[in-house]
Amino acid sequence: MDDDWICGRMGEDEPWMLGAVNPPVFENSLFTFATAGELGEAVRNEDERYVYWRGTNPTVDLAQRKLAALERGQRAKCFGSGMGAIAATISSLVKAGDHVLVLGAVYGPTTQFLRYLEKYGVTHTHVDDLQGCDSAITASTRLLYFESPSYMAYAVVDIARVAGWAREHGLVSVMDNTWSTPIFQKPLTLGVDLVVHSLSKYIGGHSDLVGGVVVGSTELIRPLALTEYQLYGAAMSPHDGAKVIKGLRTLPVRMAAHQERGTAVAAFLADHPAVRAVNYPGLPSHPGHAQALRQMSGFSSLFSLELDTESRDQVATFLDLLRHFRIGVSWGGFESLVNAPALSTEESVRATMGIPVGLVRLSVGLEPADTLIKDLGLALEGAGRLA
């Protein structure tokens, strides 16, 4: 199927739409049935039938079908947040006594959740590469979790090789694909078992929704939908489902624009004397660029740079001097954002991920690249004078 068609029209010409240009938002908390027998049948199959908002809903279901098709998966389940999706997915795959391998740097709250699971007897080990996986795997290892590009460092992982290693060792592989979106990368086609996303980022695209999704085979998604999704209660609202659908309509166009602007800004910073390094897979100088070209069809506009400083105060000054980049968490919307882990991330988490003091994360939005480059140049100059 064509991605543009999936994002724009798939499922939107069905009879229940009644010809509406925008999919109807089903606000009702429950659905009723003609007979008790019909209700019983629906409850037994609540992952597919409309019973109660906490299960699923026609508006959310359309978003799920589109996301599954985009990732080339059989099923998708949307959650009320990205962490809702991540927590439910990991929980569905492990039990007390099991062990999780974490490859490379991953989203900070994911690491925090894995630490939280330790009180229930689930352990985890962070490793840097497959050689580390070979050393750390145990008889109780059940899951391999990773991101590509990786969190904050934006290192590129050979997805097919990692997924193949996991399969050979009888592990389920789960990958966070938020950075690329399904427009630029499709991990399921490379052998990954489950893909998770924060829908709050590029897929939503307008910084007006919080949501998450997990996509994969029916075999893995159905038990998750019937158990962890229901019990954790992190249900996506129909209004947020409608926002996901609207975000998908413009996703291909927005990702192309993000790539154009992100590449221009990253190239400028790579040549600036106040910048030690730029971690952007779209640059030919990035060590993972060649691998990225083999498994990705494009690059988003989220990346990090390392300022030539060891001073937190100088990093804070740089952020404060920016005028077009707004200081804030999250990313993937129209507005350009900046954040510095040394100023906001728990020290132990930052240490685990090997993030230096001078690391700054940029989310390049859809403003003109020239405007953003000028803003960065002036802030770098000003921060240097105040050092």
Cα end-to-end span (Å), the chain: 54
The amino acid sitting at 4 is D
From 49, 52, 54, 374, the catalytic residue: 54
Q: What are phi and psi of 53, to 5 degrees?
A: -50, -35
From 50, 107, 154, 202, the catalytic residue: 107
Residues in contact with 326: Cβ distance below 8 Å, sequence separation at least 6, in sequence order: 335, 336, 337, 338
Task: List the structure tokens of 244.
Answer: 């996901």
161 counts as catalytic = no
Question: From CA 94, how far away is CA 91, in angstroms rounded?
Answer: 6
Pairing of the two strands 359-363 and 337-339: antiparallel
Question: From CA 129, how far away is CA 157, in angstroms rounded?
Answer: 9
271 counts as catalytic = no
Question: From CA 378, how far away is CA 321, in angstroms rounded?
Answer: 8
From 201, 254, 261, 350, the catalytic residue: 201
201 counts as catalytic = yes
From 47, 61, 176, 375, the catalytic residue: 176
- Whose tokens are 């099923």? That residue is 75
151 counts as catalytic = no
Query: Looking at the annotation, which residues are catalytic?
Result: 54, 107, 176, 201
